[in-house]
Structure 1
Amino acid sequence: MGICPGSSREAEGKKISGEVRSWRLHLRIGLTFAELARRINPIVRGWMQYYGAFYRSELLPLLRRISAYLMRWIRKKYKRFRSFKAAHRCWQRITSRHPRLFARWAWTPCFW
């Protein structure tokens, strides 16, 4: 029987997810994409280094949730991206032009 370091489901599910929800990213339409990245990158990078050092797969659902909030932010900020298809094309352009803008994109830039 061994000890497995990393975050428990409960710690990740409640504490970290609550923190991400408290950011209310989708409502920060007055900020630019770069300003959002500047605000959340230090926190997300820390989580990636601490929790992702042992079990990266445990952290991926949380990172996908952050991407979902960012996608919602795009859809709320720009009228022309209200449809999912248009927002997804915008997402692909941003991730291909600025692959290191968000710390989360270092692992996987795709929205899914």
Structure 2
Amino acid sequence: MSREVRSWHLHTRSELSFDELARRINPAVAGWINCYGRCRPAELHPFLMRINAYLVRWIRQKCKRLAAKRKAIAKMQEIAQRYPRIFAHWRCTPTVNAVVV
């Protein structure tokens, strides 16, 4: 799974909108959640947090005024509050605050 997420190169896809990015990764992430979420939730949670870290890197690349990590994390928290179900893994992660970049 990690290799697959790295192959997406999310942080370099600054031409995509947040919705387009969600449409691209949600099918795979939802499948992993359904498969591994039942038998190995403790191992799945850090992986989902790493996807959040990639999304923060994407925000930093997309908007140069959000290049500071704290600003990018704040923007992601704002988006998560406004659209809590845009990404499949946001339903499983308790908060977006636990982003580690």
Q: What TM-score do the two structures reach when normalised by structure 2?
A: 0.92
Among 76, 79, 89, the alignment partner of 1:104 is: 89
Identity level (%): 52
- Answering whether residue 39 of structure 2 is matched by residue 54 of structure 1, we say yes
Count of matched residue positions in the alignment of Structure 1 and Structure 2: 97
Q: Could you tell which deviates more after superposition, 32-41 or 54-63?
A: 54-63
1:3 aligned residue: none
| Structure 1, unaligned runs of 5 or more | 1-15
| Structure 2, unaligned runs of 5 or more | none
Counterparts of 2:2 and 2:73, CA distance in 1 = 23
Counterparts of 1:85 and 1:110, CA distance in 2 = 13
Structure 1: which amino acid aligns with 2:20? E
1:6 aligned residue: none
Which is higher, the Rg of structure 1 or of structure 2? 1
Q: Counterpart of 1:75 in 2: which secondary structure?
A: helix
Q: CA deviation at 1:111?
A: 4.2
Q: Counterpart of 2:84 in 1: which secondary structure?
A: coil
Q: Which runs of 4+ in 1 moved over 4 A?
A: none
Q: What TM-score do the two structures reach when normalised by structure 1?
A: 0.83
Q: Which has the higher contact order (CA 8 A, sep 6+)?
A: 2
